[in-house]
Amino acid sequence: MLANQPLAERLRPKNLDEFYGQEHLVGKNAVLRKVIESGNIPSFILWGPPGTGKTTIAWIIAHTLKRPFFHLSAVHSGVKDIRETIEKAKKQQFFNQPNPILFIDEIHRFNKSQQDSLLSAVEQGILTLIGATTENPSFEVISPLLSRCQVYIMNPLNEKVLTILLDQALKKDSYLAALDIEIKEYEALIRVSGGDARKLYNALELVVSSEADEAGSEKILITDEKVLMHVQKNLALYDKNGEQHYDIISAFIKSLRGSDPNAAVYWLARMVEGGEDLKFIARRMVILAAEDIGLANPNALLLAQACFEAVNVIGWPESRIILSEAAVYLATSPKSNAAYMAIEGALEMVKDKGNLPVPLHIRNAPTKLMKDLGYHKDYKYAHSFEGNFVQDNFLPEEIKGTRFYNPGTNPKEEEIKKRLNRLWKDIYDY
C-alpha cells in the first residue's frame, strides 16, 4: 500500500462517539464513560484480548481530558524508563492541574520490581496509571498495585461490530475510499480477525493491496475465497507469529481431554513456535488437570502445578521440555470430570435453594448461649468411632441425602466408589 501508516492507525477513533464495541464500558450511561465524563479518572487496568481497543481508550481519555500522556511498553521498558517517566510527570504537575496519564501496554510482562516502582507514584497521585493486559490481572499484577486500580474487562469484538468497522473503513479511509471496493462476503475477514480489530484491518488492507495490483482501475470485489488465499500466504500479519491464539489453545486442551498425546504435543509445538506466553499454557494445564482428570489420577494436578512453577523459574527455551512432559502425562492419564460436575451441581443447588440453614449439630458453639440454643448438640466426633467414621447428616435438612459427587468409571474412582458404598449405603447404593 502507498499509505505510510497501517490502516488500524489511520482509523484509530479520536473520541468515544467514534469508538465501536465495549458498550458495557463506554456505551451510553456505561461505567467507564461516566468516569471519563466526570473528569475524575482513577488508576485502572483494561483486561481483554488483543485488538479490542485498550490503547485507543487510554489515548481517548488523555485527549478528551487534555492530560499529558506517557506510553510505555512492558516488552521494551525497565525500571529506569519508569523512573524517568515519573520524573517527567512530576515536572508537569502544577496547581489545580490534573495529573498526567501513564499508559503501560502489556503490564503483565512487568516483573515484581518493575511493578513495585510504580506504587509510590500511583499512591501519591503523581500520575494516573492505565494498564493494558491480555492476562488475568489477579495472577500477573502484584496485589498492592492491583488493590489501587479498578479492573475493566474488554470483550472480543462481535460480528456486528466487525462488520461496521469494515464498512466504515471503506468510507472513512481516504486511500480505500478512492478505490472502487465492494465486500461481497464478510465471513472470512471476520473469522481471521478472531475479534481483533487490528487483525481485521490488516487483513482488509492486505487483500485490497493484492487485488488492486491485479485489478488496476477495475472494481475490487472481496470474497471469502480471495481473503483466505491472501491471508494464508501472509498469516503472520494477522496474529502473533502466525498463530490463531484461541483456536490453537482450544485444540490443545481438546487433545489433552481426548487422551491424544501426539495431537497435544503438536499443538503445543505450534504455540511454542508462535511465542505463546508459557505461563498461559501451563495455567491452562493446571485447570485441565482438575477439571478433566480429577480423582481419576490425583497426581495430575500435582504435576501440572509443578510444571507451572518450573516454567516460571526456567523460562524459554528449556521450558518447552517441561511443558511437553506435562502435556504427555495429562494426555495419557485416565479422565474424569466427576469433581467438576460435583461443584457445578452444588452451585446449581445453592442458586436454586438459596442460603439453607446449617444443621444445629454441626454449628460452632463458642458461647454458652449458643450451646443453650442447641448448637453443636449431639455432634458425633468421627475419630471416636471405629474406622474413624460414623454416619451422620452434614447437609441442610431440606437437601439431606443429595448426591453431588458421582465417581467416574476408572480404577481410582472405582476404589472410591466401593469405599463410599461401604460408608454411605443409602446414598451410594450401586
**Per-residue pLDDT tens digits for 389-402:** 888 887 888 888 88
DSSP for 30-59, please give it.
-HHHHHHHHT-PPPEEEE--TTSSHHHHHH
- Order of strands, sheet of 128-133, starting from the edge strand that comes earlier in the sequence: 69-73, 101-105, 128-133, 44-47, 150-153
User: Could you give the CA distance from residue 132 to residue 126 in angstroms, rounded to a whole number?
Assistant: 19
The answer to whether residues 141 and 77 belong to one domain is: yes
Q: Whole-angstrom Cα distance, residue 103 to residue 370?
A: 55
Residue 10, in any domain of the structure:
no
Q: Is residue 387 part of a domain?
A: yes
Q: How many angstroms separate the Cα of 337 from the Cα of each of 205, 301, 334, 345, 419?
A: 45, 13, 10, 12, 19
Same domain, 168 and 137: no
Taking all residues of the chain, what is their mean pLDDT, rounded to a whole number?
Answer: 85
Cα separation of 254 and 245, whole Å? Answer: 14
pTM to 2 decimal places: 0.57
Q: Decide if 128 is inside a domain.
A: yes
Domain CATH number, residue 74: 3.40.50.300
Angle CA 146–147–150, to nearest 5: 75
Closest CA to 30 of 18, 43, 48, 16: 16
**Total number of domains in the chain:** 4
**Where does 234-370 show beta strands of DSSP type E?**
none
The pLDDT of residue 3 is above 60: no
Q: Higher-confidence residue: 232 or 189?
A: 189
The amino acid sitting at 27 is G
Pick from 153, 168, 195: which residue ends a domain? 153
- Structural domain including 64 reads 22-153
pLDDT at residue 322, rounded to an integer: 93
Residue 399 lies in a domain: yes
| Inter-residue contact 338 to 348 (CB < 8 Å) | no
Structural domain ending residue among the three candidates 137, 153, 169? 153
- What pLDDT is attached to residue 213? 65
The 10 Å Cβ neighbour count of residue 270 is 19
Same domain, yes or no, for 253 and 207? no
In a domain, 65, yes or no: yes
Nearest 5°: the CA angle 237, 253, 283 is 85
Residues 212 and 106 in one domain: no
Q: Each residue of 299-318: pLDDT tens digit?
A: 999 999 999 999 888 777 78
Last residue of a domain, one of 124, 153, 182: 153
Percent of the chain whose pLDDT exceeds 90: 24
Same domain membership, residue 254 and residue 200: no
CA nearest neighbour of 243 among 194, 280, 198: 194
